[in-house]
Amino acid sequence: MSKTEIYISVDVETDGPIPGPNSMLSIGGAAFLEDGPPEATFSANLEQLPDATPDPATMAWWRTQPEAWQRCRTDLEAPTEAMRRFVAWLDLTSRGRTPVFVGYPAGFDFLFVYWYLIRFVGQSPFSFSALDIKTLGMAVLGCGYREVSKRTLKPYGSDRPHPHVAVEDAIEQGELFQNLLRASRAQRRGAAE
């Protein structure tokens, strides 16, 4: 692993499929190296955007998750404050290393985080890129992308639950990332022997 990078597992909870028309409700981050527990974690619950409208299908799903809904609707912060705090946390946690966004699936979480960073902070410490855990799983399992799921990745997963609480999910997904990264490196070493 590059000593100049730190892997930031990020999870978001939202009230719909796209930022702008819908809101990011919470963001969780967990900073990981190749081994060991998270170096640091971040959590924020955000006020909904004033001009956004919650998606009916997403809200129907939230009604099946009352505990998670309650947890993401307490201690709300304005999006500007939450995202500035997130960037400050990234700066402090990175300590000169490049933060690499890690998500499952990265396409969803990064879409919201990048949009919020640009809108409320004016820049993204992650630049334009994100590392997708599902794609790494595809490489380790040697299968097609659509064949990868939390079920097929279970041998590499964490023992933690997935409670749909952003910071807890970020930690769980970061541990999955670490396990897949180690498996990928072991496969590469085995192929070289």
As annotated, the active-site residues are 164
CB 177 within 8 A of CB 9: yes
Distance CA 9, CA 176 (A): 10
Distance CA 8, CA 29 (A): 6
**Beta strands 24-32; 40-46: pairing state:** antiparallel
Phi and psi at residue 72, in whole multiples of 5°? -90, 0
Distance CA 57, CA 17 (A): 10
Distance CA 176, CA 153 (A): 8
Cα angle 58, 169, 138 (rounded to 5 degrees) comes to: 90
Query: Helices 133-141 and 166-192: crossing angle, nearest 10°?
Result: 30
Closest CA to 124 of 1, 4, 43, 8: 8
